[in-house]
Amino acid sequence: MASLKIKIKPEFKDKVIGYNGRSLPLSKRRDLDVLARLALESQSKELLPLFEEIPTLEELNKQKTNKVLEDLKP
């Protein structure tokens, strides 16, 4: 499964945001897809500007579905 291109703007790499049960600088996060989904679903004026590149909600949903299907394979 190909990963989606999600990129945080350089000026926000050290910004600490708590979500998904953890608070870490954005440059150390491995779950930016969760933050991207939150930003897109809420259309947050605080979260959307953090991204230099962000997939569409449709792309995020497709990736999530594919991961679930992979996890269900015997």
Encode pLDDT of 3-46 as tens digits.
789 999 999 999 999 999 999 999 999 999 999 999 999 999 99
d(CA 39, CA 5) in angstroms, rounded, equals 15
d(CA 59, CA 24) in angstroms, rounded, equals 25
Token pair recorded at residue 53: 């590149």
Whether residue 1 is predicted with pLDDT greater than 60 in this model: the reply is: no
- Tell me how many degrees the CA angle 67-47-10 measures, rounded to the nearest 5: 90
Output the pTM of the full model.
Answer: 0.83
When computed from its CA atoms, the radius of gyration of the chain, rounded to whole angstroms, is 13
Encode pLDDT of 58-72 as tens digits.
999 998 888 888 888
Total residues belonging to the chain: 74
Token pair recorded at residue 71: 């996890």
